[in-house]
């Protein structure tokens, strides 16, 4: 009831009712805000899980890559071994080429000697 000292009519009961309504509205707003924050947190955690899953997949790919690729020392060792084999093969080819070249020379000289001998014999017999 409005009075001279209380023109709005506030009493302890109306003041208590007012603050109770305000407290209830604040609790409802806080519950809504907490629910929204919980939803946002779940979405952020899900996004982080997806991101970390792709990062872990990338790490696994890199680990597989390290396992399947040869390291420098192993590669150099194999290249050196192949170089030695190529050197041995080329040396063997040079030796066999030299042998066949020598055989060809001997055969050529023998053929020349035989034909020259036949020619000289033919000349000698015709005289």
Give the model's pLDDT for residue 100.
65
Torsion of CA 19, 25, 31, 37, to 10 degrees: -110
Share of the chain above pLDDT 90, in %: 29
pLDDT one-digit tens code per residue, 46-57 = 998 888 888 888
1 pLDDT band, cuts 50/70/90, is low
Question: Which DSSP category does 8 fall into?
Answer: T
What average pLDDT does the chain have? 85
pTM score of the predicted model: 0.39
Name the strand (E) or helix (H) holding 57. helix 12-68
The first and second tokens of residue 91, run together, are 């040396």
Average pLDDT over residues 110-123: 90
What are the sequence ranges of the domains in the chain?
A: 11-69
- CA angle centred on 114, ends 111 and 118, rounded to 5°: 140
Average pLDDT over residues 72-77: 87
């Amino acid at each position: 009831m409005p009075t001279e000292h209380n023109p709005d009519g506030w009493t302890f009961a109306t003041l208590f009712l007012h603050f109770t309504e305000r407290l209830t509205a604040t609790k409802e707003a806080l519950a809504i805000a907490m629910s929204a924050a919980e939803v946002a947190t779940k979405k952020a955690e899900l996004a982080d899980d997806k991101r970390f899953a792709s990062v872990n997949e990338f790490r696994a790919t890199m680990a597989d890559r390290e396992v399947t690729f040869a390291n420098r020392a192993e590669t150099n060792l194999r290249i050196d071994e192949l170089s030695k084999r190529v050197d041995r093969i080329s040396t063997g080819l040079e030796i066999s080429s030299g042998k066949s070249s020598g055989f060809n020379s001997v055969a050529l000289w023998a053929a020349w000697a035989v034909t020259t001998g036949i020619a000289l014999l033919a000349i000698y017999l015709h005289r």
